[in-house]
Amino acid sequence: MTDDGHCQHFKLQAAFSDSDPDSCLLVMQDISELENAIELLKKQNEQLQQRLATIEQLKNRIREQSIRDPLTNLYNRRFLNEFMERELALARRNQKPLAVVMLDLDHFKQLNDQFGHQTGDKVIEMVAKHLLRQSRRTDVLFRYGGEEFLVILPNTNASQAQHLAENWRVHVEQAQVFAKHQAVNITLSAGISIYPEHGSTAFNLIQAADEALYQAKAAGRNQVVMC
């Protein structure tokens, strides 16, 4: 210990004489600077690891924010193609079906015009929550457009997809949003496509689901149509 309170480190080496076993040469070397440098390097390495972990967390947060819709916190359209390609590759490899459900709120423009965009946003948030509550853990939801949603259903056949979509439709129809002191009833229409029957690419499957959705709208809305 030095006068100013710092620890000193010494390296002690002993050398014995071959001619005189009772004698020993001791060499003491001050290695305080080396030990201090090693300790400083350890601390700097720890700080670096902490900073790298923080940077990685920030990168993950930015990545997550870039693929999420800010209003509903569902995945956004930007992430859709990337996710679809990955899920289709799994479906092909495992020879499993995959369903795509396109949903659209009925008469949403009229609702916006009558009650305002704040009410419209409130309705979109409400519908997103209902869809999430009535979905399975494997289902992945996207906000596809203004009042459009898209759901990817891995390992799901036509009858299962029809049942899920009908369940969403019923729950949304039963929900109510209050605007200007009156209840606003919401309905939605849905179109379904199935891999591989209706397409083998993300583009073809989404297009097929969109065409089925158009048929649901043309047939009177508030219903589910299979491609």
Residues recognised as catalytic: 147
Sign (positive/negative) of CA torsion 71, 72, 77, 78?
Answer: positive
End-to-end CA distance of the chain: 83
Give Cβ neighbours of residue 88 (< 8 Å, ≥ 6 apart).
Answer: 98, 195, 200, 201, 202, 205
Residue 208 has which token pair?
């097929």
Residue 66 has which token pair?
């870039």
CB contact at 8 A, 193 and 205: yes
3-state helix, strand, coil in the chain (%, to 5): 50, 25, 25
- Cα separation, 194 vs 82, whole angstroms: 18
Of 174, 122, 153, whose CA–CA distance to 226 is shortest? 153
